[in-house]
Amino acid sequence: MDLLKLLAKQVEEVNLAHPKKLRYHDEDSEYVQVVDTINKLLESYKKQQATTKRLNENFTKTQSNLLESQKMAKVGSFEYDMNTGQLTVSAQMYRILGIKSKEGLEWKDFLEFIAFRDKKMVLQELSDAVEKGSRFTLRHKLYSQKRSMVDVETRVKVRKKSGGSVKVIGTVMDISSQMEAKKTIEYLAFHDSLTGLANRRLLHDRLEEAIALAKRYEHLVGVLFLDVDRFKFINDSLGHDIGDKLIKKIANVLKSVVRESDTISRLGGDEFVIVLPHLEGVEAAETVAKKINTVMKQPFNVADHTLFATMSIGIAVYPNHSSCKDEVIKYADAAMYRAKEMGRNNYQVYEMNMTRDLSDQLSLEQDLRRALKTDDEIQLYYQPKVNLKTGKIIGAEGLVRWEHPQLGVLYPDRFISLAENTGMIIPIGQKVLELAAKEIKAWEKHNLAVAVNLSGRQFQHGSLVEDVKNIIEKYEIDPKCLELEITETISMNNVQNSIRILKDLKALGVTLSIDDFGTGYSSLSYLKKLPVDVLKIDREFVMDLHKDKGDVMISKAIIGMGKSLDYKIVAEGIEKEEHTEILNSMECEYGQGFFYSKAVAKADFDKLLEQNG
């Protein structure tokens, strides 16, 4: 009995939080057996306790991970017991709603967070799910006290038990960032990334919509096709970064001209299309084109550059010119090309012959590409330069001609603009340099200088100086006999860059000339910095010398200024003996024009040299 009391006392003293085995106080077999049994039970309990602890730790960790995952994924949850009216809401749900968890929520208050425009839809889905014991997923908006409105995706399932209990269990995911990303993707799919204007895809959608409305209400839709004049020249000379900044400024100018209902789109590069819905007549589209040409006269300040950019604009109108949206754009494009041909910086309304002309231009483009691969189609014709006092030929200007196998001899006005627009002006310019060098070598005994014109794109092209150097070395010519002419306008476009290029050319020993002087409104302070040798008076001031005192005064001023800067002076466009006499009286040394000879092929020029002695 004493052993039983002792055993009972030991059992009472067992600490179940940290159980220890009972000690033996007697060797009685029954006593030992009971103690062993109790110790086994304690050991089993101890193991169960450890397992329970581990499970609790794992559960706590899992719950913590779940809460953290919900927080990272911005997923809140809720459970509503429709029988008791009890609502349980997760911490992340409170965060989405922008309220503190201690405020607590009732079901009716919870529903008030649904955006007004979505509330009817959500409540209907909820009612259907409760009735059927089903589930649903919806995207809608919630009011948030922190962000005013949140895009969410709500998933709800309803549990109905046979006893009549109904529980609404749901998760709410904040998808605002995904929706913003979707909006951005959709925006980029329909807008130009550089300017924010509509892109080609949105242009076609808007034009199609405008035409549909025009059919219904019997009004017109205007389409303007715009192209920035000589933009590639700016891009090539100043770089694409400056070109992009200029395009953005032009886009802003266009926005200031049109109505909110109009659509401005950028097709890429320097091409824009404007859709003008609800027009009463073609004149309304012309008015917009005139406004654009006017506002584009302003200088654009880009980085450290002051740039001038004009536009050629083509106009086509639905349904006057076509009832097909693609054709209306095509015809506006054709009209734009006609504006280019008409000297740029103007607008033209589509006419049927423009499409035929465009087709002819495409055919001519293919012929020109083929011609550049031959040795005999691109040729130089030579117009003599003479000493005005003696009449002796002292040089020649090489003027490019295209001896087309079907069309005959084509003058520059038929293909140079095409060459500039397609980039073929660079290989044409290189071919002209090579032809000139060949003739300089052939006329070496006559010591004749041959002048060739450089286009704006060729002048700013990165390979020009290297091309000229290679030509001089290849044909072993005296570099001063190669005269390179640039117009006054080209020289004044980005003066600092022009000075750098001219200095690099001058270092090769070539002769440099400013052509068409007097028409480019150049600054004399810049002119004196240009390392040139020759000024050519534009024919505009020479052709009427015998009857226009103003031209006499301008020519005299140019000659005086040129001589003070130690330039040689050449007068262009001499057509009468009187012109020569007047220019001689002004002490102009050299000239060229039809009075002496038009530009002729090499064989005819050789005959002129023989006759000239």
Q: Report whether pLDDT(302) > 60.
A: yes
List the beta strands (DSSP E) in 195-250: 220-228
Closest CA to 317 of 221, 215, 206: 221
For the segment 390-433, what is each residue's pLDDT rounded down to a tens digit? 999 999 999 999 999 998 899 988 888 788 878 899 999 999 99
Q: How many percent of the chain have pLDDT more than 90? A: 50
Residue type, 146: K
Average pLDDT over residues 11-34: 70
CA dihedral sign of residues 432, 433, 439, 443 = positive
For the segment 181-223, what is each residue's pLDDT rounded down to a tens digit? 778 777 788 888 899 999 999 999 999 999 999 998 889 999 9
With a CB cutoff of 8 Å and minimum separation 6, the contacts of 242 are: 234, 235, 302, 303, 305, 307
Q: Report whether pLDDT(569) > 60.
A: yes
Kind plus residue range of the DSSP H or E element containing 69: helix 29-73
In CATH, the number for domain 367-612 is 3.20.20.450
Closest CA to 25 of 57, 3, 47: 3
The answer as to CATH 3.30.450.20 being correct for domain 74-180 is yes
Residue 124 tokens read as 């209907």
For the segment 237-284, what is each residue's pLDDT rounded down to a tens digit? 788 899 999 999 999 999 999 999 999 999 988 999 999 999 988 999
Q: What is the DSSP letter of 613?
A: -
Determine the distance from the C-alpha atom of residue 345 to the mean position of all C-alpha atoms in its chain, rounded to a whole number.
22
Q: What is the DSSP letter of 260?
A: T
Closest CA to 504 of 512, 513, 493: 512
With a CB cutoff of 8 Å and minimum separation 6, the contacts of 569 are: 534, 535, 536, 537, 558, 559, 562, 563, 588, 589, 590
User: In angstroms, rounded to a whole number, what is the distance separating the alpha carbons of residues 598 and 358?
Assistant: 31
User: In angstroms, rounded to a whole number, what is the distance separating the alpha carbons of residues 126 and 290?
Assistant: 60
Q: Of residues 231 and 437, which shows the higher confidence score?
A: 437
Q: Which of 23-27, 181-185, 257-261, 586-590 has the lowest mean pLDDT?
A: 23-27
* Per-residue confidence (pLDDT) for residue 29, from 0 to 100: 66
The answer as to CATH 3.30.70.270 being correct for domain 191-350 is yes
